């Protein structure tokens, strides 16, 4: 069943047809007019109450259809999650950075929702998987301690605004498996620093680096810091790349954002899948509400290399690979068919599938002509036959429950 899905026009989205989201929805529906001055940030696919998907030929919401057709969910998913799709599939097109943030674990989310229901609106966790469609920039996880130390030694504008005892204790760390307490202390010192002091320190840094040579500019991430500062002038989050891994994902590479892992998407286009929740704890690079105290207490202060941040899929057959996070809420399958018929693997879960490139048809009982941007729903324990047009291919992403 083909779905009509909602677009979110958040301010940080890419503008007009620069946005992959805009390209997909205009391909799927040629009668749709894309505003060349409007941001097209996210395409939501699922039953999330804020932007639920509609079954086109039935004229009913997917969530309403499921209430009357429990077989579409399947007994395993129904037993685990009830009559719902527990994941939300998205395409994101990012022009400017999203907030420095982390997502609480399930038990913590329940506590936050109970204590602050206006701020944390549901009791669910929100693990996320992001798969790059274009070169995709992100901050993800704290850097190896030695890398942070190297930056601190070359950034007097930063160290002079931090508590001296915290800086000395952090620079004295020698063992790679130590330092979580010191990292928490120094990061807390930064995130709770006076806003005017932060603003002055960033201006001093950019003024100094602006006249430095290319090698030092590159080492101290001048182009990135300058860009973040242009979008969020004086924001404490502009200092975060010196503490967090800076990744540029190639198309097809992915990151999994487990609970409490600090991260921020910076630019690019991706397929994203997550548990159905709106629980985000923010602390920088955002005009939205920030909750520094909660974030500092919950963060994962382990250090990671950039390679450790990459989340690798495994092959299922010659046409599909799957990213399986360590959560039951979701997994994502990439399907690429170059010719002939391909029958998808039968899953005990409902599926939402978006066509990313190519054209042809898909068939469960009735064939649907597909092209980029077409989204279909597949019932649990059903098989979809994917057939590219002659001389063409079909590439798609399939979101399922990981049960």
Residue positions annotated with a catalytic role: 282
Instruction: Retrieve residue 30's tokens.
Output: 């040629």
Residue recorded with tokens 């054209």: 359
Task: Pick the closest to residue 389 from 320, 338, 331 (CA basis).
Answer: 338
What 3-state class would DSSP assign to 160? coil
Cα–Cα distance, 158 to 151 (Å, whole number): 9
Cβ burial of 50 (10 Å; 0-12, 13-18, 19+) is exposed
What 3-state class would DSSP assign to 201? helix
Cα–Cα distance, 189 to 159 (Å, whole number): 10
Q: Is 163 annotated as a binding residue?
A: no
Instruction: Retrieve residue 222's tokens.
Output: 């001048």
Quote the crossing angle between the two packed helices 180-191 and 164-171, to the nearest 10°.
150
Q: Is 180 annotated as a binding residue?
A: no
- Close Cβ partners of 234 (under 8 Å, ≥ 6 residues apart): 195, 198, 199, 202, 203
Cα–Cα distance, 85 to 350 (Å, whole number): 7
Q: Residue 325: what are its φ and ψ, rounded to 5°?
A: -65, 160
DSSP state of 18: G
Q: Is 212 annotated as a binding residue?
A: no
Q: Is 398 annotated as a binding residue?
A: no
| Binding site residue list for Zn(2+) | 101, 103, 128, 263
| Binding site residue list | 101, 103, 128, 263
């Amino acid at each position: 069943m083909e779905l009509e899905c909602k677009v979110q026009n958040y301010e940080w989205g890419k503008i007009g047809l620069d946005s992959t989201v805009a390209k997909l929805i205009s391909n799927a529906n040629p009668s749709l007019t894309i505003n060349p001055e409007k941001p097209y940030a996210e395409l939501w696919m699922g039953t999330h109450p804020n932007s639920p998907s509609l079954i086109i030929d039935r004229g009913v919401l997917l969530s309403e259809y499921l209430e009357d057709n429990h077989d579409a969910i399947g007994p395993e998913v129904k037993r685990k999650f009830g009559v719902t799709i527990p994941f939300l599939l998205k395409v994101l097109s990012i022009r400017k950075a999203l907030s420095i943030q982390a997502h609480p674990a399930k038990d913590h989310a329940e506590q936050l929702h109970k204590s602050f229901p206006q701020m944390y609106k549901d009791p669910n966790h929100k693990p996320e998987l992001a798969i790059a469609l274009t070169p995709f920039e992100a901050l993800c996880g704290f850097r190896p301690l030695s890398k942070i130390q190297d930056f601190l030694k070359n950034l007097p504008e930063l160290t002079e605004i931090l508590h001296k005892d915290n800086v000395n204790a952090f620079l004295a760390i020698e063992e790679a498996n130590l330092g979580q307490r010191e990292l928490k202390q120094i990061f807390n010192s930064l995130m709770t620093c006076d806003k005017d002091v932060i603003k002055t320190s960033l201006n001093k840094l950019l003024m100094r680096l602006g006249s430095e040579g290319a090698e030092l500019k590159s080492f101290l991430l001048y182009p990135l810091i300058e860009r973040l500062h242009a979008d969020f002038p004086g924001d404490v989050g502009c200092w975060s790349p010196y503490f967090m891994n800076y990744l540029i994902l190639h198309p097809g590479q992915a990151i999994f954002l487990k609970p409490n892992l600090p991260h921020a998407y910076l630019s690019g286009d991706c397929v994203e899948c997550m548990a159905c929740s709106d629980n985000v704890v923010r602390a920088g690079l955002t005009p939205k509400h920030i909750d520094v105290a909660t974030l500092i207490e919950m963060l994962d202060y382990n250090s990671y290399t950039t390679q450790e941040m990459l989340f690798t899929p495994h092959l299922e057959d010659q046409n599909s690979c799957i990213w399986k996070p360590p959560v039951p809420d979701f997994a994502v399958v990439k399907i690429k068919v170059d010719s002939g018929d391909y029958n998808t693997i039968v899953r005990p879960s409902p599926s939402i599938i978006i066509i990313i490139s190519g054209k042809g048809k898909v068939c469960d009982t009735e064939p649907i002509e597909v092209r980029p941007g077409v989204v279909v729903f597949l019932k649990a324990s059903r098989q979809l036959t994917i057939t590219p047009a002659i001389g063409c291919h079909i590439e798609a992403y399939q979101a399922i429950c990981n049960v």
